[in-house]
Chains A and B, each alone.
Chain A
Amino acid sequence: MDSPSDQRGYVWFLFLVSAVAGIGLFFVPAFIIRPFTHQTPTGLALAMALRQRAPWGTLVAAVVCLALALVLWGIVSKGRKIVLASVMVLVAFSAVMARLNYFEWMFHPVDSAQFESASASKLDKGEMILALRFGSEARAYPIREMAYHHVLNDVVGGVPVAVTY
């Protein structure tokens, strides 16, 4: 029969393992997939695998951590409570961030693309554009805009296209 101290140790262990899993599911891919750093094929594969599982993985981890934290809350010292609370904040933060696309905070998508006629456009004639045509429909996408949005879902001449830059 385990002593209360041993049982508390197991709970702490489970809490910390769940916390590391939950936090790691968000932070590891975020660390690997960051700009201006080299991504190795292995690192990228790991990042995508974790990010793919992060929405439900971080949620499970957060629920487990919360349950274990409640168990521990009444029997640990004030200092340990601060640890519990701090870790819970990180776990909750990871669970929220795993559901948000922070890349689109940096480069906002075009929610509803609007178009204007070539004659009405105030673009300078030397400005670079991406152009395509399907049937009688021709589109121009200023690179200055696409260099910010990066991707745009459009339909041209009935053909769904992804404009990327």
Chain B
Amino acid sequence: MWTRTVSGRVLHFYLAGINNQNFLMRDKETGTWWQQITGKAIYGPLKGASLELVLSDELTFGEWKAEMSDGKVLAEVKKYVKEYDSDWEPKVAKLPVAISFPGTELKSRDVVVGLEMVGPGRAYPWETLVKQTPVVDRVQGTPLLVAVGPDGKSFRVFISRIDGKDAEFFLKGETEGETVGEKKSESAAAQPEKSVETKSAASPEAKVTDVKADASSANKSVTPAKVPPVPPKPWILLDTATASEWNFQGCAISGPSLGKCLDRVPALKDYWFDWRNYHPNTTIYKH
């Protein structure tokens, strides 16, 4: 999403064509051609100008509604309701591509989450994110946290830094042996991860965490015998720097960092061929 103001002038955009399956738009005011994925003017009077990126989210309606209960939703245009296809995604995934990049590690229609703010771009394969969330990464010195939300469909990206100090995150309640636990770096060893994950009493820190967990969730019990059969786990991240709890909005909900929020990073969910086409030197996250 983009702001529509360029040099103090508000522009109105319309669909005008397609360029290797990424659409082109023009503005009514100058007739300039803009590439949707980059927000750049590629032809016409404003050639060379760039639209300013708006920080946006790609979420499930349920997640968004829980966060923004007073928000407004774009209503369906009645005369086009038949055109809104609930199955558009699997259908599009089967369509041929106009440009491909053989020899790269991903298939053309693989879905990635792409970050532009880090060097030449960074792509996170969606399948990897779902399996490993939250992914803690570092690109050109910037610590990043890429998280798929509790619904398994929403995602957000943050700068993984608390009060200027790099931090790592993991899902609270993750069981031993899950891939997320395996990818933690040495810095995470400062606080025994497994102790926290398995709620072992081996570490005093783990005990503190357990108390917080019990206070924050009515579903949990301190008595193993009374543990109900796999209650739904609340989606909470723990950081290794302050052992605070964080929600999917990137804000600390308990612990020393309570009230603080991580800085957000704009990200785009895209097909690999499209992302790669406009970010030829992009790197790919590997687990």
Contact status A33-B54, CB under 8 Å: no
1/0 per residue, CB under 8 A from B, across A126-138: the answer is: 1111111100011
Chain B CB within 8 A of A117 CB = yes
> Which residues of A pack against B, CB within 8 Å?
29, 33-39, 44-45, 47-49, 51-52, 101, 103-104, 107-110, 113-119, 121, 123-133, 137-153, 159-164
Q: Can you name 11 extra interface pairs (CB under 8 A) apart from A39-B18, A118-B64, A132-B54?
A: A36-B95, A103-B18, A115-B72, A125-B62, A128-B58, A139-B73, A140-B64, A140-B71, A142-B76, A150-B36, A161-B3
Name the residue on B nearest A107 (C-beta).
B15
Chain B residues whose C-beta falls within 8 Å of the C-beta of A37 in the assembled complex: 98
Name the residue on B nearest A108 (C-beta).
B80
Contact status A44-B19, CB under 8 Å: yes
Chain A residues whose C-beta falls within 8 Å of the C-beta of B15 in the assembled complex: 101, 103-104, 107, 109, 150-151
Contact status A132-B68, CB under 8 Å: no
Which residues of B16-65 have CB atoms within 8 Å of chain A's CB atoms? 16-21, 23-25, 31, 33, 36, 42-44, 51, 54-62, 64-65
A32 to chain B, nearest CB (A): 9
A126 and B43 contact, Cβ closer than 8 Å, known pairs A44-B19, A161-B4: no
Contact status A129-B59, CB under 8 Å: yes
Which residues of B211-248 have CB atoms within 8 Å of chain A's CB atoms? none
The DSSP consensus for interface residues of chain A is: mixed
Contact status B86-A126, CB under 8 Å: no
Contact status B98-A131, CB under 8 Å: no
A115 and B60 contact, Cβ closer than 8 Å, known pairs A48-B43, A160-B5: no
Chain A CB within 8 A of B105 CB = no
> Which residues of B pack against A, CB within 8 Å?
1-5, 10-21, 23-25, 31, 33, 36, 42-44, 51, 54-62, 64-65, 68-77, 80, 83-86, 88-89, 92, 95-96, 98-99, 151, 153
Interchain pairs with CB closer than 8 A, number: 214
When A and B form their complex, which 6 residue pairs have the shortest distance between CB atoms, in order from nearest? A125-B62, A138-B71, A115-B72, A160-B4, A138-B68, A48-B43
A41 to chain B, nearest CB (A): 9
Contact status B44-A52, CB under 8 Å: yes
A159 to chain B, nearest CB (A): 6
A142 and B61 contact, Cβ closer than 8 Å, known pairs A119-B69, A133-B68, A162-B1: yes
